Amino acid sequence: ITLLGKDNVLTGQAVAESYSHIWRMEETLLAKAITLPRTTAEVSSIVKLCYHSDQAIVVFGGRTNLVGSTETSGQEIIISMEKMNQIEEVDTQSRTVTVQAGAILETIQMAIAAEDMFLPLNFGAKGSAQIGGIIATNAGGLQVFRYGMTRNLILGLEVVMADGTIISGLKKIIKDNSAFDLKQLFIGSEGTLGIVTKAVLKIIEAPKSRTSAFVGINDYDKVIHFLKFMDKELAGNLSSYELIWENSYKVMTGPQNDIKPPIPYGYKYYVLIEGLGIDQNQDQARLQFLLEQAFEKEIILDAAIADGGSDLEWFWTIREDVHQLKSDCSIDHHFDISIPIPEIGVYVDETVKKLNLIDGVHKVFAFGHVADGNIHFIVDKENVSPALKKDIDLTVYTPLKKLGGSVSAEHGIGLHKKAYLDLCRSPEEIALMKVLKKALDPKNLLNPGKVIDMEYISVIKQKIVH
């Protein structure tokens, strides 16, 4: 209270009335206090006090994660970044934007658009997700295929370390090979190695056109064929390639949502594509021509082109509003896996079949960013028993090791996937992660218990260090 003022430290009932996730606002939050810093210096002061008191810390951003990264036990101090929400600078000449960690993605997008620039980072939670959390989880989204993950867009970071030390590297340059690229340690570390307080992001010139189409396909091999065809023929302008399975498409466009389907039901796969270019009329005509060619070559069976802004909003609302699938579930169980693109068709078919044989599973929805190998499942189950959760988890995760996949494409590990990290990381990799955690957070105070457990095997540690 002395550091922040009484209005910026919440305790007691004010804590209980908060929440750890935007989908679980009805659940009582357990924590000693919530702090609301306004500057990096205030974050540093809070962390220093916690470090000297051996006090665990959990950082809150937009609380949109799906792996338990912001769950608490009641023994933590929460640092909420919501008041550190300023967009400090949009530099159109350096093509960068400098933001505080609590800035919401959609707000950043709007500020950049006002300068005729573009941040190629987009996903359904853009209206709630804060950039600090996005960086901490190395979030992906709808345009990863063309522009890469969040990591690819970060030029500089300001980070508060576990002892309160401020590491400030807010550079605007793309090339910097001056020894270790320290910012990479914190991108995707889920708040376990340091607290991101500011960032410099790379932005690009705003595209002049945006085109989209929904396509119906029945053969997964042709899903891949269509991807290669469109990517080649659009000459680098293909920015998104989303795949939705039929039962997911039916719920996303059902009458309960008051959203009509752009193309009829009856196809196994629904592909939503996006192209960003320089001339709306020419690019629209080019898309029309390519879809006609794909139809003549029997790659696709049906297509609908978005005609103008209202159609674009309609098409992309279908894909972005995953809450519609969640709402169709009694109890929703989410997955975010990554496997090589050619394996996706068979893997999903076999996994859905196995999941539907589990007693307690009602429905399985599949969709994802197929062009970068990322598939999401939402499993509708009848209860929250650990036994049912384990059966479902093992069904989805066990094949991934053989396929060279990952239990987390973009959501992170948090608490919920920690037991399965060894399916996609070797013992040596996990041991090295623990060495880094111990070095940067020796008291294990930053988001403790998340991502990795800190029981040390000294022999492995010594082997890696020496």
pLDDT score, position 293: 97
Contact assessment for residue 161 and residue 167, using Cβ atoms and an 8 Å cutoff: yes
Confidence at 132, pLDDT banded by 50, 70, 90: very high
Contact assessment for residue 254 and residue 233, using Cβ atoms and an 8 Å cutoff: no
What's the rounded Cα separation, in Å, for the pair 57 and 430?
A: 22
Residue 301: strand, helix, or coil = coil
What's the rounded Cα separation, in Å, for the pair 22 and 434?
A: 30
Mean pLDDT of 393-410: 96
CB burial class (10 A; 0-12, 13-18, 19+) of residue 167? middle
Sign of CA dihedral 128, 130, 135, 137: negative
Q: Where are the beta strands (DSSP E) in 81-184?
A: 87-91, 96-100, 117-118, 154-160, 166-169
pLDDT score, position 421: 95
Cα dihedral 330, 450, 46, 187 in deg (nearest 10): -100
What are the tens digits of pLDDT across the range 181-219? 999 999 999 999 999 999 999 999 999 999 999 999 999
Confidence at 23, pLDDT banded by 50, 70, 90: confident
Highest mean pLDDT among 26-30, 211-215, 309-313: 211-215
What are the tens digits of pLDDT across the range 239-267? 999 999 999 999 999 887 789 999 999 99
> What are the φ and ψ backbone dihedral angles of 371, each rounded to 5 degrees?
-65, -20
DSSP H helical ranges for 357-454 = 386-397, 400-403, 427-440
pLDDT score, position 68: 87
Nearest to 37 by CA among 72, 100, 79, 85: 79
Res 464 pLDDT > 90 = no
pLDDT score, position 142: 84
More confident of the two residues 459 and 391 = 391
pLDDT score, position 455: 59
Enter the pTM of the model: 0.90
Mean pLDDT, the chain, rounded, equals 93
What are the tens digits of pLDDT across the range 409-434? 988 999 999 999 999 999 999 999 99
Sign of CA dihedral 160, 162, 167, 171: negative
Confidence at 76, pLDDT banded by 50, 70, 90: very high
Contact assessment for residue 79 and residue 59, using Cβ atoms and an 8 Å cutoff: yes
Nearest to 150 by CA among 418, 450, 409, 448: 409
Contact assessment for residue 380 and residue 330, using Cβ atoms and an 8 Å cutoff: yes
What's the rounded Cα separation, in Å, for the pair 218 and 237?
A: 25
CB count, 10 Å around CB of 74? 10
> What are the φ and ψ backbone dihedral angles of 91, each rounded to 5 degrees?
-105, 100
What's the rounded Cα separation, in Å, for the pair 354 and 356?
A: 5
Which of 16-20, 47-51, 451-455 shows the lowest per-residue confidence on average (mean pLDDT)? 451-455
Confidence at 457, pLDDT banded by 50, 70, 90: very low
Mean pLDDT of 8-13: 92
pLDDT score, position 79: 96
Contact assessment for residue 408 and residue 373, using Cβ atoms and an 8 Å cutoff: no
